[in-house]
Structure formats: C-alpha cells, structure tokens
Structure 1
Amino acid sequence: MTSHAPAAPFVSAGAADRTISRPLIPRARGTRRAQWNIAATAVIWATSLFVAALWVAGGGVQSLLAGGGETLTTLGRITGLVSANLLLYQVLLMARVPLFERGFGRDAITRMHRWVGFWSFWLLLAHIVLLVLGYAVTAGVNPLAQAWDFVWNYPGMLLATAGTALLVMIVATSIRRARRRLRYESWHLLHLYGYLGVGLAIPHMLWTGADFLTYPLATVYWWTLWALVAASVIVFRVAAPLWRSWRHDIRVHQVVRDGTSGVVVRMRGRRLERLGARGGQFFVWRFLDGAGWTRGHPLSLATDPSRGELVVAAKMVGDGTQRLASLRPGTRVLVEGPFGHLTGDVRKGRKLLMLGAGAGVSPLLSILESEPYAPGEAILVTRDHTDEDALRTDAVADLVRRRGLRHFRLIGPRLPEGSTWLPAAHADWRGADLIRHLAPDLEDYDVFVCGPLPWMSAVRADLDAAGIRADRVHTEAFTI
C-alpha cells in the first residue's frame, strides 16, 4: 500500500466556543430505552403466542395428524391466523406508536416492517391455497371449483379478494427492483392502499372464521387488536401531528440554495424545545404550499434544534425535494416526529468519528453541533461524487473554526471493488487502514455513519475489519 494522506483534507484546531459539562451518556435515558425495548418485545411475543394457543385450543394438533383434507385445512387455519396477526402488526409498526418507536427505533422498525410485510403476504397466499385444497379434498371437488365457490358464496370473500389484490400490488411494488423504477411519491401513494387492503380482509374473518369467533376470549382479542390498530393510526398518524403542528405554529422562515444541487429550509415556531428533538433525529415534514402537500418528506435535522429553529437540508433529486426550493416564507408546516435513535445518547466514548455521504452529512452535523467534545476530538469524513455535490459546506467550515472539528473530504467516482465506499483516487488504500490512519486510537471513538444503504454497508464492513466494537458503531436507515 502506498503511504500517503487522505485526499484533500482540511483541518483546523480552533478552540471550542463553549464548555459542556453534561455526561456523555445519561444513565436514566439508557435505562428507559432498555425498558421500552423489553416492553415492546414482550407485547409482540405475547400476542404471537396467543395466536398459536388459539389454533391449539381449536384442535389444530389433532387435525394436523389426521391427514388428508383435514391436515390441509388446519394448516390453512394456522397460516391465516399468523398472517392476520402479522398484517395488523405491519400497520401498527408504522403507526408511530411510542411503545415501538422508543423500544426499537426507526431503523429497526423499518426493517421489521419490511420483514413482517413479506411474511404476512406469503402466509396469506399459503392460507388461501391450503384452505382451497383442504376443502376440495374433503368435498371431492375440483380445486378451481372450490375457489370459485369460496369467492362467490362465502360471506365477505368478495371483499377479501379485493383486499388480497391490493396487497399483491403493494408487495409487487415494494420489491427493490420494482421500487427503483418508481418515484418515491408514487410508491408512497400506492403503499397507502395497504390500509384499505387490511380493512377489506377483516369482514370475512368475522363472518366465516371459526378461530375468530368460537371462543369469547378470541373474539375479545381480535376486536381489541383491530380497535387498537385503527386508533393508533388515527391518533399517532393524524391527530397528534395536527395538534403538535398547530400548537407550535411551525412555519418556513427562510429557503436558501446549498451548493449547486441542494436546498436548506429553516423553520421557526412557538416553544419548539417542547418537541423534544435532538441532533441526529428526523421528522416527516408536510409543507402546506398547495397541491401535493399530503406527501411526507422524511428529512433529518441539519442543525442543533436547541438553537430555536428547525433546519433541514436535502439534495434536489426528485419532485418532492425540488419543491422545497420554491417554498415561501410563512408557509405552514405539519410535522410527525421526532424519530430515530441516531443521537448523542448512544455515545460510549469521548471522541467522535462521523462518516457521511451526500445528504447523510446533515444529521451528523446536527450531532456535532449539539454534542460535547474538545478541539481535535471529532472527525468528519464526507463523501461526494464531485466537488459541486457537497452539501452544508458553510456549516462544516463553521464547526472547523469554532469547535476544532477535523474534516476530510473524499471526492470522485467510487471504487469498483474492495472498499467501494472510497473514491477511485484512494485505490491504493484499504478501507480499514484508512479508518485507522484517520483515527489511530479508534477504541476511544464512537462512529456515526449515515448515507445510502449500500455505502453504509461497505463502511460497516471496513469498520469491522478495523476492529471497532459493534456497540460503538451507530447507523440509522430511513427507507423501507
């Protein structure tokens, strides 16, 4: 390996302009987070085991051993029960319920939502196929004739068929290859039909599902779960955001261009500190500027929210972000949040190593503005394809001057293999060696990583190779 320094660094050891004496990790916050996690996990396990108990109590094990049509039918029952439970949890996980937001964090919830969604869908298909075959074998009829009889002659099945078609559409457009072909706004609008699909599936459970109605306790369970899901969507996705936005009267204060492809939106309001936001977190923003205002923009805070304003920065890569540049001062803003665990609360060490690509630099800057560190104890590495793509350069320069931040820029086309998070100009470096070169005492650092998912995965691999402990690496993804 050729021995040379990282490309185009600029470093300043200017003294910090303030002294912060608060502890790095408030013990109470760490304890509360663990308690929320235990509570959320317990709820999911308890309900899942209850569904299995319903199947067993209904003679599921005996039917499973009976063979023939009875075995197929009972397998159809259990796949349907589990699918229904997962389908409702899929909605509940994305309803911004505090129990799950505080217990798992947005990154974990996003992964769970995707995993639960696909499993509920495949179990739903298995439920349909197994029941059709089970009834057909028992009655001695053609499976296609049995399927037709289900749809047209069983109560609620026409609605369930329509709901299944909607869920098929949602799953098909959620496959990564298909989703890349859709604009985010179009995909998000299609995804909302999932609520309608779930709603259309419920009536046939009440009218034809013995496992839902045979036992009073089962009936209470399902009605309670459905009511909680519906109430959670209404309260946490609609009522709470409307109330908080009205209460704080959040409005656009200023819109400025950020380099050649970025935009910065500054917002102000009443008592914004009561939102409880922290550097590194994000909100879902809706700007009431005309048609299309219902589309939410999941954007991270770009500055320390304790400064009395909320600031976001974005690259203008789609219709939604292009609209940000045309916002006018005074435009009302609806917000959902704050969300996310990518904050200074997770710190365990004294020093900070921040690795950001593109718009992923913004939440890292808000953490750097709000967290305590001595001059030279924080490193920011930014990755851009070209020099013109860089965002928030003025904010970075300000942190270098005021707080003694060390900043290294990595610019250029990516490496085709190896450490693909690096530019081709660093082809002689191994990623793990470059990380150790920047932070020789890596054991003293907490590492925050934010950027596109493939880029973050490549960084994580080299951080592992560099030997840093997994609990010192903090990432958060906001895509489904």
Structure 2
Amino acid sequence: MTTSTWEAPPVAPTAQPRPTRTVSGVLPTLWLGVVAVLAFWWAGTTAATGTTPGGALMSLGELSGLLASYLVCAQLLLIGRVPWFERGIGFDRLVAWHRSLGTSVVLLVLTHVVLMIVGGSLLDGLSVWSEVPSVLATQPYLWPALIGTVLFLAVGVSSARLARQHLSYEVWFAVHLSIYVGIFLAFAHQVAGGTHFVGSPVARGLWILLYAGTAAALLTWRVVLPLMSHRRYAMRVSAVVPEADGLASVWVHGRGLTRLEARGGQFFLVRFLTPGHRATAHPYSLSMAPTDDHLRFTVGALGDHSSAVTDLRPGTRVQVEGPFGHFTADQARSDRVLLVAGGAGIGPVRALAEELLDQGRQVVVLHRAHDAAGLALAAEFTPSPSLTYLPVPGRRAHLGHDPLAPQHLRWLVPDIASRDVFVCGPPAMADAVARSARALGVPRSAIHREEIDS
C-alpha cells in the first residue's frame, strides 16, 4: 500500500459561508425529564408523609431514587449512539456529560440508601444498624437493590481518575459492563416495592416504558445497526503501515464506504474482530478523505489496544460505528485556516487539510513533534500556493523556547488573527495553542479543538 499525497488546485481562495449554528434541544429535554420526575414524585406523595421526621426522610429518599433511575437512563442514552443526541452536541460532549451524570447518579443512589435507612429506623423505632437486617428480612425484594447498589459503587469507584490510572482499559470496561446488571436489579426493586408504583399500574407502566425505550435505543444503535453496517460494508484490514515513532496507519478496505458520509477531522469507534481487540471499540480518527473502498486511520501507541494495532494482519475483519465529531471544515468561518497538530493529532489534521484545500481555502499546517522522527505523514503535505507546511520538531528544552507561545506563533504565522485555528493533539498542547491564539487576537469562536492524548 503506497501513501498518497495531494496538492491543492492553483485557484484563489474564496470566502465560505458562515456555518449555521443550531441550538441543541438535548439539554432542555433532559431538564424537562427531571421536572417530570419531580412532578411524578410530588403527585404520588401524600400530605401525611411529611408529618414525621422519618416519613419526610423516606420521602426524600424515594425522590433521590427516582432521580437516580431517570438519570441513569439519560446517561445510557447519551452514549447510546442516538443520532439526534450526537448531531445536537457532538460525541465528545456527550461522553463528558455521561461522566458527569455518572457522578450524580452514584451520589443520588447513596443518598437514597442513607435516607431510606435513617428514615425507616426513625419510623420503626430501631437503631440504624438494626434497621438494615430488619428490612432485608421482611422485604426480600430489597436484596436485589442491595446488590445493585454495590455494583453502582464499584463502577463509580473504578471510574474515578485515580483508579483509572491503575486499571487497564479492559479491566475497567469489564467492571463498567456490570452496571447493566445493577440497573436491572434497581429497576426490579422499584417496580416491585416502590411506594409510587405498587398501587398505580399506570405509573408502573410508564416506568417500564422508560426503561424499555432506553434498552431498545441501546440495542438498535449499539448492536443491531453496527452489525448491519458490518455486513453491508464488509470492512477488512488491508495493510498496516508504520508512519513514525509510535504512529502507524491502518488501511481498511470495504465497499460503498462513501455512504458513511464521513468528513475529514471526524472519527469512528473501531473494533478489530481478532483476539485482543474484539471486546472493545476505540476512537480512531480518519487521516485521509475516505474513498468508496478505503478508509485510513493513523493511530498513536497510547495504550495496550492502540499499541497492538501494528500486529494486525491483513484480512482482519473490522466493525465501525460513526462517524462522530464536529472537528470539520464546515466549522471554519474564514477562507484562511491554521491547522496545528501534535502527536496522533496529525491524522485528523491531514484529512481536514485535504477537505479545506478542496474547498479552495488557504491553509497553513503547523506540525509539532518531539523530534524529526515523529513528523508522521510529513511527506503527504505537498507545498502549493494554497498550502504551507511548517514542521516544528524539538522539545522546548532543546529549542530554548516554546514555539507555541504567542510571540513565536505570530512569527510562524503572521496573519494568525485573520485565520480560523484548528488544533488537534494532547490536551496541554491544545490549551497552549488556544491561549496563544486568543492573545494574538483570534476570536474564541474561531478556535476549534480536538484533544488526543500524546
């Protein structure tokens, strides 16, 4: 497999229309659901409930349990590949919201447990320590809830930053999957003994519909459609090409791949169907514009999974989900664009540059690397009247300065203030470029970033 280069046509850049900014309805919809849960809890709570401290605490415990149950459904839908959600706010923000909701759910579950135990002990006239075995003995449907709570806590602890640093992705993922068991057990406990459901078939039916709808969405967009896509596109690895230290390109052959409607700068969740890769899918960005029969992903060796892609054999079957991401050419407002890449970020920048040049824009690519050996895909940036390639290898300690500091960035790209700035690379680098661009007069709305760990 040979690597292709491209050169922009020698035409003058033309101004492009400003991208349309759509207002997402995802967040208002989530808040509307919270309001609906509050109204449901209020309507099903009798006035006598709050007349005693124990009753009031248990009622608040029921509310926290209902909110946790609703939010865990919302949390699953956010990463359920539902197209409306992804188009509304983008996959990266969905993942961030998913993590934030995860913390809220765990805290609400703990609040629910504590309030129900303390409130029950006050009503029963027992100590807190005696209340637990008492209710477990008299209300057997609480045993599944107890197991579910333990699973929620296990997932929450494993997702903490400190724990993630000491767990392999595969172990973390296995623990994470247990949340589905915890959700089922918590759901069963609610519909079997929840105060708001026992005497109301309508309420129980609506709650079942919420969970059934969530399960149907997950099965549709995370299982059925990916399997159908896998069969339709028949993708297989055709070659693995080393590009630089710690970077390799995986070429994937298929049929009718333009129907995926992928854009330069976007990424797919890629699963290689071979031992060591089959269990998990990882986000890999396109590093060239897709053709009808080929995709290319340039992957950095960032962990066990990505490091092992160099061992993939031609013919390995590939399953993808996507494309995802808004790091695309239609975000640019100017006909002059600066692209800054570092590490594995050169892949999406290369693909994005290709699309921007095809649109007739004037592009500068600034490529950072620790050394010259790390300048992957450099040979593909053929200089032209519309493309300027600026390789900047070397660590700051060796260079004696930070090439991304405002004064040096302005020296490299004197007209940066008139350009859209796209940066893709490690978080620290993206932060540095964004700060320098702002200091040099680039509007915040003209700075677009995609973070990839180094």
TM-score under structure 1 normalisation?
Answer: 0.85
SS in 2 for 1:450: strand
User: What letter is aligned with 1:238?
Assistant: V
Q: Does 1:463 align with 2:448?
A: no
User: What letter is aligned with 1:45?
Assistant: W
Shift of residue 180 of structure 1? 1.6
Q: Does 1:17 align with 2:9?
A: yes
Distance in 2 separating the partners of 1:20 and 1:275:
31
Residue number among 407, 430, 436 corresponding to 1:433 in the alignment: 407
Q: Does 1:223 align with 2:208?
A: yes
**Structure 1 match to 2:160:** 175
Distance in 2 separating the partners of 1:67 and 1:22:
72
User: What letter is aligned with 1:318?
Assistant: G
Distance in 1 separating the partners of 2:234 and 2:358:
34
**Structure 2 match to 1:394:** 379
Alignment of 1:26-175 (within 5 A): 30=20, 34=22, 37-38=24-25, 40-59=26-45, 63=49, 66=51, 68-175=53-160
Taking a change above 3 Å as real, the CA distance of residues 26 and 349 of structure 1, as seen in their structure-2 partners, is closer
Shift of residue 337 of structure 1? 0.8
Alignment of 1:322-361 (within 5 A): 322-361=307-346
Deviates more, 1:166-175 or 1:428-437: 428-437
Whether the aligned pair in 1 keeps the contact of 2:417 and 2:437 (CA below 8 Å) is no
Shift of residue 477 of structure 1? 4.5
User: What letter is aligned with 2:9?
Assistant: D
Alignment of 1:208-357 (within 5 A): 208-306=193-291, 308-357=293-342
- Identical residues among aligned pairs (%): 31
Deviations 1:364-419 (A, max 9, x none): 11100112379993222222233333322232x33x35852332314215xxxxxx
Distance in 2 separating the partners of 1:345 and 1:213:
52
Whether the aligned pair in 1 keeps the contact of 2:270 and 2:282 (CA below 8 Å) is yes
Number of positions where the alignment pairs a residue of Structure 1 with one of Structure 2: 448
Unaligned runs of 5+ in 1: 1-13, 414-422
Distance in 2 separating the partners of 1:85 and 1:464:
40
SS in 2 for 1:304: coil
Q: Does 1:412 align with 2:412?
A: no
Distance in 1 separating the partners of 2:302 and 2:173:
16
Taking a change above 3 Å as real, the CA distance of residues 369 and 213 of structure 1, as seen in their structure-2 partners, is farther
SS in 2 for 1:305: coil
**Structure 2 match to 1:420:** none
SS in 2 for 1:371: helix
Shift of residue 291 of structure 1? 4.9
Deviates more, 1:381-390 or 1:197-206: 381-390
Distance in 1 separating the partners of 2:402 and 2:376:
27
Taking a change above 3 Å as real, the CA distance of residues 18 and 162 of structure 1, as seen in their structure-2 partners, is farther
Taking a change above 3 Å as real, the CA distance of residues 168 and 455 of structure 1, as seen in their structure-2 partners, is farther
Taking a change above 3 Å as real, the CA distance of residues 376 and 336 of structure 1, as seen in their structure-2 partners, is closer
CA RMSD of aligned residues (A): 2.7
Taking a change above 3 Å as real, the CA distance of residues 182 and 291 of structure 1, as seen in their structure-2 partners, is closer
Q: Does 1:384 align with 2:369?
A: yes
Deviates more, 1:436-445 or 1:156-165: 436-445
Taking a change above 3 Å as real, the CA distance of residues 15 and 229 of structure 1, as seen in their structure-2 partners, is closer
Bigger RCO of structures 1 and 2 (CA < 8 A, at least 6 apart): 1
Distance in 2 separating the partners of 1:134 and 1:251:
58
Deviations 1:162-197 (A, max 9, x none): 222222121112111221222223322322222222
Deviations 1:260-301 (A, max 9, x none): 322111112111100111111111111123354122121011
Distance in 1 separating the partners of 2:18 and 2:206:
38
**Structure 1 match to 2:3:** none
Distance in 1 separating the partners of 2:9 and 2:378:
19
User: What letter is aligned with 2:395?
Assistant: G
Unaligned runs of 5+ in 2: 1-5
SS in 2 for 1:270: coil
Distance in 2 separating the partners of 1:391 and 1:61:
69
Distance in 2 separating the partners of 1:201 and 1:218:
16
Deviates more, 1:195-204 or 1:285-294: 285-294
Deviates more, 1:282-291 or 1:197-206: 282-291
TM-score under structure 2 normalisation?
Answer: 0.90
Whether the aligned pair in 2 keeps the contact of 1:60 and 1:74 (CA below 8 Å) is no
User: What letter is aligned with 2:76?
Assistant: V
User: What letter is aligned with 1:328?
Assistant: R
Whether the aligned pair in 1 keeps the contact of 2:404 and 2:432 (CA below 8 Å) is no
Distance in 1 separating the partners of 2:404 and 2:392:
17
Taking a change above 3 Å as real, the CA distance of residues 26 and 207 of structure 1, as seen in their structure-2 partners, is same
Distance in 1 separating the partners of 2:277 and 2:359:
45
Shift of residue 152 of structure 1? 4.2
Shift of residue 345 of structure 1? 1.7
Distance in 1 separating the partners of 2:210 and 2:67:
13
Shift of residue 51 of structure 1? 0.4
